Structure 1
Amino acid sequence: MRATDNVNIVALRELTTPRELREDLPITQKQADVVLNARKSLKNIISHLDKRMVAIVGPCSIHNEDSAVEYAEKLAKIQEKTKDKLLIVMRAYFEKPRTTIGWKGLLYDPELNGSYNMKKGLHLSRKIMLSILDAGIPIATEILDPIVPQYLTDLISWSAIGARTSESQIHRQMVSGLSMPVGFKNSTDGSLYTSAQAIKTARNPHFFFGINIDGQVALAETKGNAYTHFILRGGCLGPNYEVEHIAFAEALLRKEKIGSGIVVDCSHANSRKDYKKQSKVLDNIIEQKLSGNKSIVGVMIESFLEQGSQKIGSGRLKPNVSVTDSCIGWEETEQLLMKLAEV
């Protein structure tokens, strides 16, 4: 009988199991305290029980271990100065969504050359995350592949589901089983209805295929995630962070009986893909907060040690400059965080 399956699969390479990776790079109690304390604070902020703002800040993607750790250590100093007003969570993105093709992130291609050494990528990603936690800074990321959580989610305090995947039932089910707050971005056309439905779906229990810590296929049963919320990132028709956009989001939350705060992404379509305009978005959010807005509970900022971006394959890469979206530099980052802490 002629085979009918796997005709397009070139190879299947065995990977480290989640248990093996966690045993090789275990989380310490001190690191776990950073994760759990931040999760508790984030839940309270999203539920309006904690009046601090969340600042989810960091590079578009991580491509260099030393630079990521240096950035985390700098954030820790700002967190100490602003801890009564801000909860700072570092963007540590190791998976990158792609509309067509391109670098998929450090987890998939740690050598940035198309070799896709994912065994090394999983190890390096977890190692970097543990170092960030050692600096005392909690971690935020975007989860793309439903298998990845078993490898890394014990280190994560907040997650995002991107504009391209908020409509995915697989990701909605996955979120229902995550133990941290998760934000759903509005769709790329700017619509909030997709993310509103995603929030409601993920708040309910689900059954779905997954893997267990030993890498075996398993049936996952979840109880639902009560801390899902909006992330407004703008869309193809323009930004959606101004007063009228926030009012619409608030009305939709009330209509759908979703009690949670709103996080505004200062980058992407809200800045019209111009990293230098992130400060303009943040200034507008600060004005709304000073005018009495209570629904906005956090912001996202794309920032790194040096401003701008560089392309993979364009020569020797600089460790302190983003290889994906352009970011603001450290000096401006510090200024914006201190300004936000004054609200």
Structure 2
Amino acid sequence: MQTTSDLNIVETRPLPTPAALLAETPAGERLAQFVARTRHDLHRILFGDDRRFLLVIGPCSIHDLEAGRDYARRLAALAPQVADRIMIVMRVYFEKPRTTIGWKGLIMDPHLDGSHDIETGLRTARAFLREVLELGLPTATELLDPITPQYIADLVCWAAIGARTTESQTHRQMASGLSMPLGFKNGTDGTLKAAINAILAASQPQTFLGVNLDGAASAVRTRGNPDCHIVLRGGSAGPNYSPEHVAATESALAKAGLPPRAILVDCSHDNSAKKPELQPEVMRELLAQIAAGNRSIMGAMIESNIEAGSQPFPQPRAALRYGVSITDGCIDWPTTEALVREIHTALAVRG
């Protein structure tokens, strides 16, 4: 018989079931309670019942576990000092979308050598998320592959859907079943329609193809996720965090019947012209809007690492500089700490 399927498949590697991996590295009752409490606090921030400012901050992606731990310890020491006005959530990003090709993140390629040892990547991701939570830091990640949440979502406090996937029906359906608050980024062109439509779709019940905890293909039915919101990240036309852009976003959200207060601004990407050193300036402009009375900007996202900038990849792992991103450029730790304290001081105007 003529073969008509799997013509381009080279290998299929079985993975452990989500249930097996969760049993191997369980959240435990204490961490589960912390995640649930954090998600509840995030819900209150989204709907204006908690006046704290949400700051999602950390490396563009995790590639070096020791540097990631180092950063997490520094952030965990800083967070309690500003906790009365800022809720800090650490970026723990394991999946990276690619326009063409490139390193897809720690889950897909944990050894950084193209071996794509996904089983090790999933185990590593769960273990690292637990380490961050153990420090008392809430976790944030971008969810790219629709199967990934079954393996790690119980350890994630806040999630994002990126600009490239906000229009994806698959990701909107996935978001409708997720248990954590989630931000949809505006499209790469900077327009809002795709993100607003995504929020509306994710808030409704959906049925889609997925896998259950035993790894079996399943029809997944959801009740909808009420805690989705928009993330402004700029676009090909330029930044979109100005007072005029924020007002237009408020209007578009209200017109769609969505809470106009729940706007988070990504200080990186096109809002900083992809120049990481400009992120503090973007943040200061947001603080100026808040000082002028804006109540819709409920948070911001900043890409930060131990050292500033980024380094080329691929290159030999031994040649990589410690604490420097191999994906998007970041601000360094001294700049980060000073900026967080500046934000805390500036937010005193909100009472």
Give unpaired runs (5+ residues) of structure 1: none
User: Which amino acid in structure 2 is aligned with residue 264 of structure 1?
Assistant: V
Match of 1:329 among 319, 328, 332: 332
Output the CA distance in 2 between the equivalents of 1:319 and 1:32. Answer: 32
Aligned to 2:263: 262
Output the CA distance in 2 between the equivalents of 1:78 and 1:326. Answer: 22
Aligned to 2:210: 210
Aligned to 1:142: 142
Aligned to 1:308: 309
Is 1:319 aligned to residue 310 of structure 2? no
**1:155-194 paired onto structure 2 within 5 Å:** 155-194=155-194
Residue 130 of structure 1 and its aligned partner are, at CA, apart by 0.6
Residue 312 of structure 1 and its aligned partner are, at CA, apart by 2.1
Output the CA distance in 1 between the equivalents of 2:320 and 2:13. Answer: 29
Output the CA distance in 2 between the equivalents of 1:329 and 1:33. Answer: 32
Report the secondary structure of 1:94's partner residue. Answer: coil
Q: 1:34 and 1:72, CA in 2 relative to 1: closer, same or farther beyond 3 A?
A: farther
User: Which amino acid in structure 2 is aligned with residue 116 of structure 1?
Assistant: H
Output the CA distance in 2 between the equivalents of 1:29 and 1:137. Answer: 16
Contact 1:156 1:180 survives alignment (8 Å): yes
Is 1:7 aligned to residue 22 of structure 2? no
Contact 1:63 1:319 survives alignment (8 Å): no
Contact 1:206 1:221 survives alignment (8 Å): yes
Q: Give the aligned length.
A: 343
Aligned to 1:132: 132
Aligned to 1:285: 286
Report the secondary structure of 1:341's partner residue. Answer: helix
Output the CA distance in 2 between the equivalents of 1:84 and 1:33. Answer: 21
Report the secondary structure of 1:230's partner residue. Answer: strand
Contact 1:34 1:137 survives alignment (8 Å): no
Aligned to 1:111: 111
User: Which amino acid in structure 2 is aligned with residue 30 of structure 1?
Assistant: R
Contact 1:159 1:183 survives alignment (8 Å): yes
Aligned to 2:297: 296
Q: Deviations over 1:208-233 (max 9, x none)?
A: 11101111111111000111111000
Residue 332 of structure 1 and its aligned partner are, at CA, apart by 0.6
Aligned to 1:80: 80
Report the secondary structure of 1:273's partner residue. Answer: coil
Residue 3 of structure 1 and its aligned partner are, at CA, apart by 1.6
User: Which amino acid in structure 2 is aligned with residue 263 of structure 1?
Assistant: L
Output the CA distance in 1 between the equivalents of 2:34 and 2:308. Answer: 28
Taking structure 1 as the reference length, the TM-score comes to: 0.99
Is 1:22 aligned to residue 22 of structure 2? yes
Output the CA distance in 2 between the equivalents of 1:150 and 1:53. Answer: 29
Output the CA distance in 1 between the equivalents of 2:314 and 2:196. Answer: 39
Aligned to 1:52: 52
Contact 1:90 1:137 survives alignment (8 Å): yes
Give unpaired runs (5+ residues) of structure 2: none
Residue 82 of structure 1 and its aligned partner are, at CA, apart by 0.8
Residue 319 of structure 1 and its aligned partner are, at CA, apart by 3.0
- Between 2-11 and 229-238, the greater mean CA deviation after superposition: 2-11
Output the CA distance in 1 between the equivalents of 2:218 and 2:321. Answer: 42
Report the secondary structure of 1:7's partner residue. Answer: coil
Moved over 6 A (4+): none
Contact 1:112 1:312 survives alignment (8 Å): no
Report the secondary structure of 1:87's partner residue. Answer: strand
Output the CA distance in 1 between the equivalents of 2:120 and 2:202. Answer: 31
Residue 116 of structure 1 and its aligned partner are, at CA, apart by 0.4
Report the secondary structure of 2:220's partner residue. Answer: strand
What is the alpha-carbon root mean square deviation over aligned residues? 0.9
Report the secondary structure of 1:141's partner residue. Answer: strand
- Between 122-131 and 31-40, the greater mean CA deviation after superposition: 31-40
Output the CA distance in 1 between the equivalents of 2:112 and 2:307. Answer: 20
Report the secondary structure of 2:173's partner residue. Answer: helix
User: Which amino acid in structure 1 is aligned with residue 342 of structure 2?
Assistant: K
Residue 340 of structure 1 and its aligned partner are, at CA, apart by 1.2
Output the CA distance in 2 between the equivalents of 1:33 and 1:340. Answer: 28
Output the CA distance in 2 between the equivalents of 1:136 and 1:317. Answer: 29
Output the CA distance in 2 between the equivalents of 1:310 and 1:94. Answer: 18
Aligned to 1:240: 240
Is 1:341 aligned to residue 337 of structure 2? no
User: Which amino acid in structure 2 is aligned with residue 322 of structure 1?
Assistant: S
Output the CA distance in 2 between the equivalents of 1:82 and 1:182. Answer: 23
Aligned to 1:273: 274
Residue 318 of structure 1 and its aligned partner are, at CA, apart by 2.1
Output the CA distance in 2 between the equivalents of 1:32 and 1:332. Answer: 32
Q: Deviations over 1:229-288 (max 9, x none)?
A: 110000001000010000000000111010151000000000000000001100000001
Report the secondary structure of 2:183's partner residue. Answer: strand
